[in-house]
Chains A and B, each alone.
Chain A
């Protein structure tokens, strides 16, 4: 197994306010990391820095051995917590756009996933429900043969059926030579797929480790450990 994501003392300040206070973690290939924490804990900031949407104020990170920067965008597939597609696009337009710009995009896989997600290829983004847009964005992100997948709240605001479909897709996308980071606070719905967990609070990792080891050591589910850690919020 090789290290896919490595961060060392990653920091981010918004003017005087610190959002990340020295996050260091390592994620090996073939692993799914659950990044958990309450709202405003720094999860999205962490993901945005690794995806290349924000610049770290300090520290460093690498993806599959490539130092963080312009080149790592080729290795990272990021699913933000919002629709990033142009409203006029149809599903096929969006697939064409991704195929044009991302060299690792698998068009056949995208079309297959569209059918799995029960999305109409000719439907426009502007006429889709929130859940459908979420599924389309997930389809596009997961149709890349990226080394690192970053999913920011992929289950937020979607119904239980769509949620299950998304979780199934995450499992199907798993490969031995890539890694997935899922940020969420809906821990109960996805904790079964996590190999590793990292709980973040006020920009610092407060608990991390192998998910199964944590369950056994504490005799609780990850959801219960999450509640123990952040229950007083």
Chain B
């Protein structure tokens, strides 16, 4: 499955690169400052396929593929393992995390190649692709290394907390509802309800307490041709991150993970 999905990503992105390079080499892109019709089709398609799939896979992997854990015949194998509930569930979250990286890292590399090609189109193609590509990686991981690391850590937290929420929703409904269809609908409703209200209440509390974290990105001195135009600001950008929802989600994630582990050992039946 991992190979198949990555093959699809590779196909659409390489097709998009070919059309982008054709436009640059033909001089169309540089003259107009934008790509032609062919690239206009493949580039959005490659973005849609890569990032919509990555978004969906993020949550699927985060849940530890609860379908295999709870409903397919492989659930027998999982429940027969002589391991505690928390070990089985945490193991599936970790495996899901590794799988998610197997999709997200290539997706990110494809994106940086696209960004390099865009920079060549709207800037000076004489700079060369490799220089721009290296500059983008330097911009992300050196110039803004700490901010990038902070964002990545938040993403990892979001992965495990949403995984914990999804697992709890799936395991709790499987424990008490025999019908898979009904259990799935109820578990999605639980996930949406909990997530929605935690974000609403948490953000309101953060605003009242003025409790925000700040993550700054420097755009100046990146050396990228017209790169600031992509960022929408010439100097830099500051992201405000509400702290209360993050804390609430983390506490909720730990509590629901414990509840899921208990339910897995005591209530799930096949």
- In the complex, chain B residues whose CB is within 8 Å of the CB of A74: 82
- In the complex, chain B residues whose CB is within 8 Å of the CB of A52: 79-80
- In the complex, chain B residues whose CB is within 8 Å of the CB of A103: 82
- The answer to whether B38 has its CB under 8 Å from any CB of chain A is no
- The answer to whether B238 has its CB under 8 Å from any CB of chain A is no
* In contact, A101 and B84 (Cβ under 8 angstroms): no
- B interface, CB within 8 angstroms of A: 1, 68, 73-74, 76-77, 79-84, 265-267, 269-270
Which of A1-9, A84-92, A199-207 lies at the interface with chain B? Answer: A84-92
Which of A31-39, A75-83, A155-163, A212-220 lies at the interface with chain B? Answer: A75-83
- In the complex, chain A residues whose CB is within 8 Å of the CB of B80: 51-53, 73, 78, 84
Per the bound structure, the CA–CA distance linking A53 and B77 in Å amounts to 10
Per the bound structure, the CA–CA distance linking A53 and B264 in Å amounts to 10
* In contact, A73 and B81 (Cβ under 8 angstroms): yes
* In contact, B84 and A82 (Cβ under 8 angstroms): no
* In contact, B81 and A53 (Cβ under 8 angstroms): no
Contact with B along A36-67 (1 / 0, CB 8 A): 00000000000010011111000000000000
Known: A53-B270, A55-B269. A84 touches B76 (CB 8 A): yes
Known: A70-B265, A73-B80, A74-B82. A88 touches B74 (CB 8 A): no
- The answer to whether A102 has its CB under 8 Å from any CB of chain B is yes
- In the complex, chain B residues whose CB is within 8 Å of the CB of A78: 80
Known: A80-B76, A83-B73, A84-B76. A101 touches B270 (CB 8 A): no
Known pairs A53-B79, A73-B81, A84-B77; list 12 more (Cβ under 8 Å). A52-B79, A53-B80, A54-B269, A70-B84, A73-B82, A80-B76, A84-B74, A84-B76, A85-B77, A86-B77, A88-B1, A102-B82
- A interface, CB within 8 angstroms of B: 48, 51-55, 70-71, 73-74, 78, 80, 82-86, 88, 101-103
**In the complex, residue of chain A having the shortest beta-carbon distance to the beta carbon of B178:** A14
B51 to chain A, nearest CB (A): 26
B76 to chain A, nearest CB (A): 4
Per the bound structure, the CA–CA distance linking A34 and B82 in Å amounts to 26
Sample of 12 A–B contacts (CB below 8 Å): A53-B76, A53-B79, A55-B269, A70-B84, A70-B265, A73-B82, A80-B73, A80-B76, A83-B73, A84-B73, A86-B68, A86-B74
- In the complex, chain A residues whose CB is within 8 Å of the CB of B269: 48, 53-55
**In the complex, residue of chain A having the shortest beta-carbon distance to the beta carbon of B79:** A53
* In contact, B73 and A55 (Cβ under 8 angstroms): no
Known: A53-B269, A70-B84. A85 touches B74 (CB 8 A): yes
